[in-house]
A and B are shown apart, each in its own frame.
Chain A
Amino acid sequence: MQDLLQLIAARYNYWLYIVLMMVGFYAMIAKNNLVKKIAGMSIFQTAIILFYISIGYKKDATIPILMHAPDGAHHAVHAADYVNPLPHVLMLTAIVVSVSTLGVALALAVKVYQSYGTLEEDEIRERMREENASQE
């Protein structure tokens, strides 16, 4: 029991990130509305970015911007004093790519609405079936 409690105390934040990821994942699969699916995709992406940023965190460390002494003297920099900047760099790219993907997905949703008049997936499928049936 003590072991389990210790495990929970050490890992609870990863578990909460996974819960958030699964919320977004469920929305992408199970929701019928296209805009809800797109919002679920964005939730999934930001949850993964959150997970990466949490990897780079170090205990009692400060932000990765070094203090620049005005006379140019460089003090020795210990890497353990600063938060790991590498996940931040990768996730900056990920955030901007995710907003680009969101823009393209919303453009596609607007186009689908212009063609079929609805954003619900089952209604779109029915209207597509009617169109195909009336064409043959």
Chain B
Amino acid sequence: MRLAGLIIAAFTGTVLLYSTVDFPAWGDPASPAGTHVSPHYLERGLEETSVPNIVTAVLADYRSFDTMFEATVIFAAGAVCVILLRIFGVHTRDRYYRHLLTGVTIHVIGDRKIPEDSEVFERIDALWVPHDVIISTISRILIPFIQLFALYVLAHGHHSPGGGFQGGVILGASVILMAISTNLRVSLERVGERTVALLAALGLLIYAGTGVLCMLSGGNYLDYGALAEWLPVDPVAARSLGILLVEIGVGVTVSATMIAIYRNLASSGRMDEGL
């Protein structure tokens, strides 16, 4: 298998190398990729959408159908991970608790259990490795700032590199950090499973709903200039606001999907303590 793989890879590589002779010179402004549509985006993008970051303007306005179906793909991937891995109804008969003051571990058999909000007992699973005090303390301090930075990146997608995807991923990463540094159960208390699933669908609904709103205002689907009927702005600024709305939708979906995929991967679907 290895020899066959090597031969196939070498053959494909040779064919591709042979085809590079016809490529345009690297960095040529007159190459075919840089003509036709892209000068229009660069030269007219600011005056048509009032968004200086041309990549965000093209992503969320000129090519907004692509982005909508990409958000659908992300949502579908999160749903597939939940469907594949999630196991419901796993009730272990044994629970392990650790007494925080003395470090003694007790093993409770049967259906009896210690209430969850008890101050002196902490629930652990048998395979769990004790966490570090330093990491959990520092993460607890850092997580609000990470979330604030994520919201900053989302809101400033118009003027600096950033936008919906990056902000959403950082927001999801903050909840993943909470799950890694302390406990998956702690992060399940803060942001429940049902909340995450609803948020993933809500983000997509915001995106598609903006398109429908544009249609109700008299324009085409996802034609943000038609939003100027509802808002007291001119159509150019309405396009900028429409871009902000869809970026919020995409950010919410992406963050919820990252949280859902991590939780299902780290606990193999059981939603116990995770890593």
| A residues whose Cβ falls under 8 Å from a Cβ of B | 7, 10-11, 13-15, 18-19, 21-22, 25-26, 29-30, 32, 54-59, 61, 63-68, 74, 77-80, 82, 84-90, 92-93, 96-97, 100-101, 103-104, 106-108, 110-111, 114
Contact = CB atoms under 8 A, between A and B. Distances in A.
B93 interface: no
A96 B45 CA distance: 24
B126 to A, nearest CB: 18
Contact of B46 (A14, A15, A19, A74): A74
B70 A19 contact: no
Contacts of B165: 92, 96
B132 interface: no
A-B pairs with the 10 shortest C-beta distances?
A30-B5, A100-B77, A79-B39, A59-B27, A29-B5, A26-B9, A103-B261, A80-B29, A22-B13, A64-B54
Which one of B9, B67, B78, B264 has the highest number of Cβ atoms from chain A below 10 Å of its Cβ?
A: B9
Interface string B18-45: 0011010111110101100111011101
A93 B38 CA distance: 17
B43 A57 contact: no
Contacts of B58: 85-86, 89
Contact of B159 (A10, A18, A68, A79): A68
B163 to A, nearest CB: 8
Contacts of B73: 97, 100
Contact of B17 (A15, A77, A96): A15
Contact of A93 (B28, B66, B254): B66
B190 interface: no
Interface residues of B, number: 61
A63 B63 CA distance: 20
B220 interface: no
Contacts of A13: 26
Contacts, number: 158
Contact of B12 (A10, A22, A56, A107): A22
A43 B110 CA distance: 48
B14 to A, nearest CB: 9
A107 B33 contact: no
Contacts of B26: 10-11, 13-14, 54, 57
Contacts of A88: 55
Contacts of B42: 64, 77, 79, 82, 85
B75 to A, nearest CB: 9
Contact of A15 (B20, B52, B76, B254): B20
A132 B13 CA distance: 39
B216 interface: no
A107 B1 contact: no
Given A21-B16, A56-B34, 12 more contacts: A18-B16, A30-B4, A57-B26, A64-B54, A74-B46, A85-B42, A85-B54, A86-B37, A89-B58, A103-B78, A110-B268, A111-B84
